[in-house]
Amino acid sequence: MVISINETSEVPIYQQIRNQIVLGISDGRLKPGEQLPTVRALAGEIGINSMTVNKAYVLLKQEGYIYTDRRNGAHVRKEFSEAKELSEKSKELLQQIISEAKICGMTQEEFLKICENMYKG
């Protein structure tokens, strides 16, 4: 899986890495248990400092998406909790996005349609 960084984005690089890996897990490009590139390998590939990649991995680990061990590097978690619950932060963001949708004239149906397409994607 290729990680591509937008250097001009206001989103910190470590967050961009985190986001793309979460996306990869959700759409199946990264399989449960699959090994991620090593911190150094990914840093070299992207052309950034390994501390930045490390920070992304620490974050992913804290969020429960991956686990690391010194022997084998970082791996995608094998079984995810089926909590079926969005984080508080995500709920707030979703509410914010929906308020923007309403203001630009989108009906509920139109918004749900967009979500459906993203869900399938």
Partner DNA sequence: GTGGTCTAGACCACC
Give me the residues that bind DNA (CB under 7 A), please.
10, 12-15, 36, 38-41, 48-52, 54-55, 57-58, 61, 68-71, 73-74
DSSP secondary structure of 42-71: HHHHHTS-HHHHHHHHHHHHHTTSEEEETT
# residues contacting its own copies (CB under 8 A): 47
Find where tokens 């990264």 sit.
30
**What are the CB-based long-range contacts (under 8 Å, 24+) for 50-58?**
52/13, 52/14, 52/17, 53/14, 53/17, 55/14, 56/13, 56/14, 56/15, 56/17, 56/18, 56/21
The site partner of 39 among DNA, its own copies, none (C-beta below 5 to 8 Å per kind) is DNA
User: Does 94 interact with its own copies (rule: CB under 8 A)?
Assistant: yes
The site partner of 4 among its own copies, DNA, none (C-beta below 5 to 8 Å per kind) is none
The site partner of 44 among DNA, its own copies, none (C-beta below 5 to 8 Å per kind) is none
Q: 67 or 111: whose CB is closer to DNA?
A: 67
Q: Which two tokens stand for residue 35?
A: 């090994």
Summarize as ranges the residues that interact with its own copies (CB under 8 A): 7-8, 19, 22-23, 25-27, 62, 65, 67-69, 80-87, 90, 93-106, 108, 110-112, 114-116, 118-121
